[in-house]
Chain A
């Protein structure tokens, strides 16, 4: 059974860089049928897609965050990571990693079908 687990600091200072890693077990980040993505949810608010990565290294970012975001994949560790620079209090949120179907390769591709439990990151001095 596929499992995803986020890890990283729960507190980041303003202007610094938020770094999170998602470890995948029970599946492989080299799957050609899937993307691996990050989604966040500020306290009491809705969901925002941050970006996704394909095993080839191709990345897709939300334009609203693109200038500050880098998503990378480490196939040897079966992990993918998020870096968000120059954070402010507005970046305080629960950050989720998740797997998403590839509509180009899979005719019946699903949305985000497997999620990590989420990790709260607070931006505060």
Chain B
């Protein structure tokens, strides 16, 4: 079975500051890992994903994440926060041989001017 833990339900950053959202996963088989973003009153949009290969993954809107197998982590970062980054972010995991996604509890990001 796969599961995800997101550390911190709320993160507040200043505009222009680093955004760091933490995600740790548990999986008995090689995982596929995802970050989704949800803007208010909207569905989830894929930011980036890790499947195989390069462990540093770049996504949309300047976000990137690094897969660290030894730490079972897939933390999401963005060097410089923008007001438009205010949203809820979800980390998700699936097994390479399964079609189900298991989501973390989500982290709400607020950006201060």
- Does A associate with B in a complex? no
Interface residues of B (CB under 8 A from A): none
